Amino acid sequence: MRSKKRILLVILVVAFLSQIPFACRRYKLRRLNAAIDQLNSQRATPEGFVDYKGVVHVHSFLGGHSAGTFSEIISAAQANELRFVIMTEHTEKDFDTAAMTLKDVHGGVLFINGNEVSAANGDRSLVLPGDLSIVAYPEEFKNWDTPGLDGVEVYNVFTNARQVNPFLAFFDTLWSQRNYPELIFALYLQRPDEALKRWDQALTRRRLTAVGGNDAHSNIGVSLRDGSGKTLIGIQLDPYETSFRLVRLHVLLEQGKTLDATSLIEAVRAGHCFIGFDFLGDSSGFAFEAENAGEQKIQGDEISLQKETKLRVRTPVTGRIVVIKDGTVVLDENGISSKELPVTERGVYRVEVYLPQLGSLIADKPWIISNPVYIR
């Protein structure tokens, strides 16, 4: 009997000690949450182009892989104050899932109907109205010379999540899901090194817009449903509302221009947009521009190299600004919210922004990934 009690005591002690790291991680998330609130209170008022935030790469019950309903998606978009959602349903041989999914305006949110398509060689792309085609999962993409490519999903939540240790994720969820559902992802967020490398290489040959993909399915969790499909009890680990907070696409339109399906697709094709990991802080108001003696352009545009050509970066809060030319860092400066950089060489220039002031958990993880300015 004493032996059994000792074994039980040892098990309880080991179980207790095993949870200390997760309690510490929850404490770190609480501190991070406070730091983010403080950061958001310091944001500067956006100027210039109108910034519309939305999400890309969303799936519903159509095409399998998800039981998510249209109502859940609309409600999640409204809760996140999104202006648009780009649906990318899996294809089915017997019916057109793009035609059947959400499109037009619902609940004040603009929906674009598209598909996630697989080629014969396994290459996957997001195909949207207007023949807009975006490389999905670039780490696995083979034929970069495919005609008609317009963009690259340089970040994908699912790709990042596949690298997470399930054991860690399970206990992090038990400790932090209730209070910090989206901030749990701060423990696992990684810079998409390989995807960015492949994008930089492709940019030397062709123009390609970068987008961040939520790859939202709302299909991870455990639940008990009745015969009608109604959930009686359960826990959803990736509800749309949380997924839509993680990464967003910010689309830039000129003042006075209406956001609709046409203007949104045109802006994405032109690269007039940037990726914001908004669960770390609202990135609205970021600007990356270029000018010379006679032209003023924004990210996604081309501009001619002249004696007076310069780049200008503005961020809504101070941070670390990194300027990259043809895949190589040419400027890395911390503690600033604006930077003007004279340009003396042609090339493809883009920007990444980091928030080291949020602590070591976030210091090397991107907050903003811009689209390029092409200096010709």
For the chain, give every domain's residue range.
Answer: 21-38+46-281, 286-376
Architecture of domain 21-38+46-281: Alpha-Beta Barrel (3.20)
Q: What integer is the mean pLDDT of 54-60?
A: 97
The answer to whether residue 237 scores a pLDDT higher than 80 is no
Alpha helices in 252-347 (DSSP H): 261-270
What's the whole-number average pLDDT of the chain? Answer: 91
Strands (E), the chain: 50-58, 84-90, 104-106, 109-118, 124-128, 132-136, 151-156, 209-213, 221-225, 231-236, 248-253, 273-276, 287-291, 296-298, 302-303, 310-325, 328-342, 347-354, 366-369, 373-375
pLDDT of residue 16: 72
What's the pTM value of the predicted model, to 2 decimals?
Answer: 0.91
User: Is 286-376 in the same CATH topology as 21-38+46-281?
Assistant: no
For residue 11, count other CB atoms closer than 10 A to its CB: 10
The answer to whether residue 235 scores a pLDDT higher than 70 is no
- For β-strands 310-325 and 347-354, DSSP reports them as antiparallel
The answer to whether residue 219 scores a pLDDT higher than 70 is no
Q: What's the one-letter identity of residue 133? A: S
The answer to whether residue 224 scores a pLDDT higher than 50 is no
pLDDT of residue 34: 93
Q: What integer is the mean pLDDT of 112-129?
A: 97
Q: What's the one-letter identity of residue 70? A: F
Helix (H) or strand (E) holding 72: helix 70-79
Least confident segment among 21-35, 66-80, 104-118, 316-330: 21-35
Assess contact for 287 and 353: CB atoms under 8 A: no
The answer to whether residue 230 scores a pLDDT higher than 70 is no
User: Which fold would CATH assign to domain 286-376?
Assistant: Immunoglobulin-like (2.60.40)
Q: What integer is the mean pLDDT of 231-258?
A: 84
